[in-house]
């Protein structure tokens, strides 16, 4: 896998038109590096379930670090991160492998 490039968008299947519909941001929090690391875990053949759990945990950590607990936006972001995790859990490996 190529080195991380901040100008690239890693939050969606590469080369698929649906990628344009998937934002790298969740409520203003940039998840691009987390998506890149998740793709790298798939490429390194880390256990899929372990890679997906790490993906969710990393998104939660970043949201907790960047959005204060007293803002409702934080809880919306956490819900959206969980939704993204489930989509990746169900479809991520297949998209990554090109199936």
Give the tens place of pLDDT for each residue, 30-54: 999 999 999 999 889 889 999 999 9
Distances (CA, A) of 2 to 15, 37, 51, 94: 15, 11, 19, 20
Residue 30 CB-half CA count within 13 A: 8
| Residues whose CB falls within 8 Å of the CB of residue 54, separated by 6 or more in sequence, listed in order | 37, 38, 41, 46
pLDDT of residue 93: 60
Give the tens place of pLDDT for each residue, 39-92: 999 889 889 999 999 999 999 999 999 999 999 999 999 999 999 999 999 886
Residue 95 pLDDT more than 60?
no
């Amino acid at each position: 896998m190529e080195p991380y490039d901040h100008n690239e968008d890693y939050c969606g299947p590469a080369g698929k038109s649906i990628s344009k519909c998937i934002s790298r941001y969740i409520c203003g929090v940039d998840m691009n590096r987390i998506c890149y690391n998740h793709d790298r875990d798939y490429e390194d053949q880390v256990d899929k379930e372990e890679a997906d759990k790490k993906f969710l945990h990393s998104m939660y950590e970043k949201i907790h670090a960047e959005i204060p607990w007293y803002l409702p936006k934080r809880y919306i972001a956490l819900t959206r991160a969980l939704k993204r995790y489930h989509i990746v859990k169900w479809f991520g490996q297949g998209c990554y492998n090109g199936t």
